[in-house]
Amino acid sequence: MKYLRHFLEFTFYIRKFLLAALIFLATVSSFGTQASAKTRTKIVFWHEMTGPAQVQLNKFVNNYNQSQSNYTVIPQFEGNYNEAVQKILNTHGTSASPALFQSMDISTNQIASSGYTTPVQKFINEDNYDVSKISSIARAFYSQNGKQLSMPFNTSQPVLYYNASLLKKYKITPPPVDPSYSDITRVAKQLYQHSDKKVKGLSIEIYGWFFEQFLANSGTSLANNNDGHSGTPTSVSFDNPAAIAAMKWIQTNIKNGSFMNYGAGTNASTNEMASFLSGKLGMFLQSSASISQLTAGTKDKIGVTYYPHLDNKKANGVSIGGASLWISNDKSLQEQRGAWEFIKYLMSPTNQASWQSATGYLALNKGSQNEPVLQKLYQHYPSSKVPSLQLSKTSPNNTNSGVFMQGLIQERTSVQTAMEQIYNGGNIRQALQEAENSMNSAVKSANKANKVQN
């Protein structure tokens, strides 16, 4: 045995090591149990807000938590809209799932048919909450058979932004407030040439949302059965005259050099905005939710127009974008109640007004328009009124009220692939046809898997 004594020291350290590890484990596992002693009910709230919208949302949460003592809302950022949908579906029924979550417009059908949520209508009825003061267009988007499924929260309109100071500097007439494709081409080309090719005229992010809106604004359906409003869609159409016209318009601008392609995804929109703010880009399509960031980010005057439309056709109008708030049904009634209370708080006239002025998402409470915050905003930046004007001038029909179908994330992926091909000089019809085929076969197998009767 004495030969082994050399190693006693070593084993001593090993033991110490293991002990430390055990203590570690114990402290770590106690993290979860500490807070349960408090009397407040925790409301885990998943959202996908970035930048100033996240800042404002966190402010709302803090104010709400201080304003009452029954609930603690815990906001958690879950990445982009696409990621969040599967996270929500995948965690349902586990302790990781949220009590309240935000999910994007095109996921509405999927979330609703999962059966994982409690329709907010239940709480509206219980409280006799007056929903008529919430914008009816936005409410309609998230309701089914007169039942409110979720509460519209951040509602945006796609618009075109232009740098008015830059156009003035190069003596270019700004685009009209309801521009056609060629109006925009004219401005983009002039800007590019007058600036001696230093300023790019136009950028349109590779984003399925914009593609959908080109179709909507031309009165064309993307999916059959009236974009899903009269039944589960069984096929989609990308290769149609409206899409071809929009893609041709983009390619024209690419060919004359005035177009800048920032690609797809988060990096694309941040780079696009950075270029616009630093005066290297004259115009771009984006959500109205970017307004506050743009006005805060530059001293230049910024112009806003409606979504561009076909040259010889009146605009049909675009659908709303953004997301709504849902209450999960896997949490206790108390938690669900807390989630609803927080929704009510967010929808108050004052909060909706601050929401619009901080972000650019539209204030959905009709009472918000008289709030001093909004009055002041309109006074300082008259152009910030454009998105709500666009919304109010639109008369809703089947093609401009969103697409009701599952698997729209895949639709966006395929459309974006086609757009990438087109932006890099590919054949428009071929690209659209390929995307359409791949989406159609996906729709077919999805319907089969979900046992939808054709």
Partner 1 sequence: MLNNMKKSKKDLLLQYTGLTILAVIILIPFLIGFWTSFLPTEEISKGILWSNHISLNNYITAFTQTPIIRYLFNSFIISFLTMIAQILFCSTSAYAFVFLKFKGRDLLFYAFLATMMLPFEAEVIPNFATVRSLNLLNHYSVMIIPFLASAFGTFMLRQAFLQIPGELKEASDIEGLSHWKFYAKIVLPYSRISLYTLAAYSFLTSWNQYLWPMLTTFSDNFRPVQDGLRQLQSQESFNNWGMIQASAAIVVIPTLIVLFFGQHFFKNGLNEGALK
Partner 2 sequence: MEEQLNKQFKPLNKIAIPKLQKLKKIGYDVNAKDKIYAFLFLGPSLLILSIFVFYPMLRTLYLSFFLTNTLGKPTVFVGFNNYVNLLTSSTYLNSLKATITYVIAVSMLTLVLGILLAQAASKKIAGINFFRTIFSGTMGVSVSVAAIFWLFIFNPSVGLLDQVTTFLHLPTINWLTQPGWAMLAVIISTVWMNLGFTFLIFFGALQSVPKFLYEAAEIEGASKSYQFFHITFPMISPTIFFISIITLIESFKSFGLIDLMTAGGPDNATNLMVYRIYQDAFLSGNYGSASTQSVILAIIISLFTLMQFKLLEKKVTY
* Binding site residues, partner 1, CB under 8 A: 1, 4, 6-8, 10-11, 14, 17-18, 21, 24-25, 28, 31-32, 44, 46, 50-54, 74, 76-80, 87, 90-91, 94-96, 98, 266, 269-271, 273-274, 277-278, 290, 293, 297
Which two tokens mark 68? 């009452």
Q: CB neighbours of 183 closer than 8 A, spacing ≥ 6?
A: 175, 176, 308
Which one of the spans 61-69, 94-102, 108-116, 137-145 is the region binding partner 2 (CB under 8 A)? 108-116
| Cβ-based nearer residue to partner 2, 137 or 422 | 422
Between 34 and 454, whose beta carbon lies closer to partner 1?
A: 34
CB of 84 to partner 2, least distance (A): 10
Measured CA to CA in angstroms, residue 81 lies from 53, 203, 213, 417 at distances of: 14, 22, 18, 18
Distance CA 95, CA 42 (A): 12
Question: Residue 1 binds which one of partner 2, partner 1, none, with CB within 5 to 8 A depending on kind?
Answer: partner 1
* Residue closer to partner 2 (CB basis): 177 or 446: 446
151 φ/ψ angles, rounded to the nearest 5 degrees:
-100, 120
Kindly write down the DSSP assignment for every residue of 377-444, as one continuous string: HHHH-GGGGHHHHHHHHPPP-GGGS----S-HHHHHHHHHHHHHHHHTT--HHHHHHHHHHHHHHHHH
The contact pattern for partner 2, residues 31-70, with x = CB under 8 A and - = no contact, is ----------------------------------------
90 contacts partner 2 (rule: CB under 8 A): yes
Strands (E), 36-127: 41-47, 71-77, 100-104, 117-118
Distance (Å, rounded) from C-alpha 88 to C-alpha 352? Answer: 26
Residues 407 to 426 in contact with partner 2, rule: CB under 8 A: 407, 409-410, 413, 416-417, 420-421, 423-424, 426
User: In angstroms, how far is the first alpha carbon of the chain from the final one?
Assistant: 81
Give the start-end residues of each E strand in 233-354: 281-287, 302-305, 321-328
Binding segment toward partner 2, per CB under 8 A, in 42-50, 161-169, 304-312, 404-412: 404-412
Q: Which of 102, 108, 110, 394 binds partner 2 (CB under 8 A)?
A: 110
Tell me: does residue 89 bind partner 2 (CB under 8 A): yes
Residues 268-287 that bind partner 2 (CB under 8 A): 268, 271, 274-275, 278, 280
The option from partner 2, partner 1, none interacting with 79 (CB < 5 to 8 A, set by class) reads partner 1
CA distance 353 to 334: 29
- For residue 266, the one-letter residue type is T
Between 5 and 171, CB nearer to partner 1? 5
Q: Which residue has the tokens 């020291």?
A: 9
Single out the residue of 68, 70, 392, 450 in contact with partner 2 (rule: CB under 8 A).
450
- Two tokens, residue 91: 């965690």
Render 330-352 in DSSP notation, one character per residue. SS-HHHHHHHHHHHHHHTSHHHH
Rounded-to-integer distance, Cα 421 and Cα 371, Å: 47
Q: d(Cα 177, Cα 356) in Å, to the nearest integer? A: 21
Tokens coding 368: 């918000």
434 binds, among partner 1, partner 2, none (CB under 5 to 8 A by kind): partner 2
Q: How far is the CB of 422 from partner 2 (least distance, A)?
A: 9
- Give the pairing of strands 100-104 and 41-47: parallel
Shortest distance in whole angstroms from residue 51 CB to partner 2: 18
Per-position x/- string for 194-223, each x denoting binding to partner 2 as judged by CB under 8 A, each - no binding? ------------x-----------------
Nearer to partner 1 (CB atom), residue 199 or residue 247 = 199
* Minimum gap (Å) between residue 223 Cβ and partner 1: 28
d(CA 236, CA 297) in angstroms, rounded, equals 40
Using an 8 Å Cβ cutoff, are 287 and 386 in contact?
Answer: no
Binders in 178-197 for partner 2, by CB under 8 A: none
Nearer Cβ to partner 2 (62/266)? 266
- Number of residues lying near partner 2 (CB under 8 A): 47
Kindly list the residues in this chain that would bind partner 2 in the complex (CB under 8 A).
3, 6, 82-83, 85-86, 89-90, 110, 113-114, 206, 261-268, 271, 274-275, 278, 280, 406-407, 409-410, 413, 416-417, 420-421, 423-424, 426, 434, 438, 441-442, 445-446, 448-451
